[in-house]
Amino acid sequence: MNKITAAITCVNGYVPENVLSNQDLEKMVDTNDEWIVSRTGIKERRILNTPGLATSDMAVEAVNGLLKKRGITAEEIEVIIFATVTGDMIFPSTACILADKIGAKNAWGFDLLAACSGFLFSLETAAKFIESGKYKNVLVVGADKMSAIIDYTDRNTCIIFGDGAGCVLLEPNYEGLGVVDAILKIDGQGRHFLHQKAGGSLKPPTHETIDAKEHYVYQDGKNVYKFAVKGMAEVSAQIMERNHLTSDDVTWLVPHQANLRIIDATADRMGLDKNKVMINIDHFGNTTNGTLPLCLWEWENKLKKGDNLVLSAFGGGFTWGAVYLKWAYDTNI
Ligand code: UT7
């Protein structure tokens, strides 16, 4: 029997209806559309502002749509890997909550925390479950309600992030399609530049931590930018070299959507034309774990069986990496 590879066989996404535009932000903080577009590429983002709804609720929408598209039931899912930094609660895992809400009665699963690289780390993890031969249906979700941890009086961060959820189903493939290679990295020195100071065991939440706004995202943007440009470009070039891929061989770059300038630098380093790069930052902003599956979802009908995709990301931790995969199906939608 041929070697088992882990192929994405379906993708879906969900974003809330409510739009937060640059013009809206101009009324909230000292910023302007020109600055935001030229520095980040973002024009608007989606915000989940319905009281009582959380990250899992966006995931439910995305996953139920995926199950319908693929024609399988929730009971057929065996493993759920949920990449998020904004789980519904510190515990239990949002994978548990999602499984309950969609009726995935036969699944086990867990949350995976790797900030903006979480979807990539989850994809590699899920691929190993499939390649082992033991599992046939592994669900990978990347979802974040970033608006829950953003200070909308801080212009350094509130212009960047948005809410959204994406998911893919991984199944065994015997034609060599699916995940081919992954290079993933972490460097905890980077924790000082991008983090949420309070709420964990180091600094449990108190009135003081709330007053000091330490439950919100802190980012030293300039430093993160410096490491992100270098890290994402280097690892993307590295995965091409290791797999003997020329820029002509790469059909699509699927980059994390943190900043259009970081995406452009990565594409340049890989020698790719702009028309080979998936970009949704203009209309969704940085949805953290949602960016990569949301790109795949929006580009699904352009993808062809055998296309070579390089997915790459950089995020808090620091965490970063690249995954090379061969797309496994043509879509007629
Ligand atoms: O996804 C996880 C990983 N995260 C990233 O990869 C993000 C990496 N960082 C970035 O994308 C960029 O650093 C930012 C978009 C966050 C900021 O862009 P920047 O070009 O690095 O701006 P800066 O922080 O160096 O600020 C430049 C100027 C400053 O003013 P002065 O000191 O030059 O007078 C800021 O105060 O722009 C000012 N500024 C703003 N002005 C208008 C900062 N934020 C804003 C704003 N509107 N929203």
Same domain for 172 and 190? no
In this structure, is residue 333 part of a structural domain?
Answer: no
Catalytic-residue membership of 215: no
Residue of minimum CA distance from atom 38 in ligand 1:
156
Same domain for 158 and 113? yes
Pocket test for ligand 1, best of 217, 225, 256, 288 (most atoms within 8 A of CB): 225
* b (16+ CB within 10 A) / e for 214-237: bbbbbbebeebbebbbebbbbbbb
Question: Residues with Cβ within 6 A of ligand 1?
Answer: 31, 35, 39-40, 116, 155-156, 159, 221-222, 224-225, 228, 258-259, 262, 286, 314-315
In this structure, is residue 279 part of a structural domain?
Answer: yes
CA of 35 to the centre of ligand 1 (A): 9
Same domain for 188 and 174? no
In this structure, is residue 331 part of a structural domain?
Answer: no
pLDDT for position 39:
96
Contact 166, 40 (CB under 8 A): no
Contact 21, 43 (CB under 8 A): yes
Q: Considering 160, 179, 198, which residue would you say is the last residue of a domain?
A: 179
Same domain for 205 and 109? no
Same domain for 103 and 228? no
Catalytic-residue membership of 286: yes
Q: Considering 179, 203, 229, which residue would you say is the last residue of a domain?
A: 179
CA of 156 to the centre of ligand 1 (A): 6
- Of these residues, 96, 256, 280, 295, which one is catalytic? 256
Q: Which numbered atom of ligand 1 lies nearest the CA of 314? A: 3
Q: Which numbered atom of ligand 1 lies nearest the CA of 156? A: 44
**DSSP-derived secondary structure letter, 85:** S
In this structure, is residue 102 part of a structural domain?
Answer: yes
pLDDT for position 122:
98
Going by C-alpha positions, the residue among 55, 16, 63, 20 that lies closest to residue 293 is 63
Same domain for 197 and 69? no
pLDDT for position 59:
98
Same domain for 187 and 173? no
Q: Which numbered atom of ligand 1 lies nearest the CA of 157? A: 16
In this structure, is residue 332 part of a structural domain?
Answer: no
Same domain for 150 and 216? no
In this structure, is residue 79 part of a structural domain?
Answer: yes
Q: Which numbered atom of ligand 1 lies nearest the CA of 25? A: 48
Q: Considering 131, 160, 179, which residue would you say is the last residue of a domain?
A: 179
Catalytic-residue membership of 116: yes
For the entire predicted model, the pTM comes to: 0.97
Residue of minimum CA distance from atom 20 in ligand 1:
39
Same domain for 77 and 142? yes
Same domain for 295 and 160? no
Count of domains for the chain: 2
Task: Give the domain range for residue 215.
Answer: 181-326
Q: Say how far apart CA 295 and CA 155 lie, in whole Å.
A: 26
Same domain for 173 and 117? yes
Q: What is the pLDDT along the chain (333 residues), one digit of tens a residue?
A: 689 999 999 999 999 999 999 999 999 999 999 999 999 999 999 999 999 999 999 999 999 999 999 999 999 999 999 999 999 999 999 999 999 999 999 999 999 999 999 999 999 999 999 999 999 999 999 999 999 999 999 999 999 999 999 999 999 999 999 999 999 999 999 999 999 999 999 999 999 999 999 999 999 999 999 999 999 999 999 999 999 999 999 999 999 999 999 999 999 999 999 999 999 999 999 999 999 999 999 999 999 999 999 999 999 999 999 999 999 999 865
Same domain for 165 and 25? yes
Q: Say how far apart CA 157 and CA 236 lie, in whole Å.
A: 26
pLDDT for position 109:
98
pLDDT for position 2:
82
The CATH code of the domain that includes 17 is 3.40.47.10
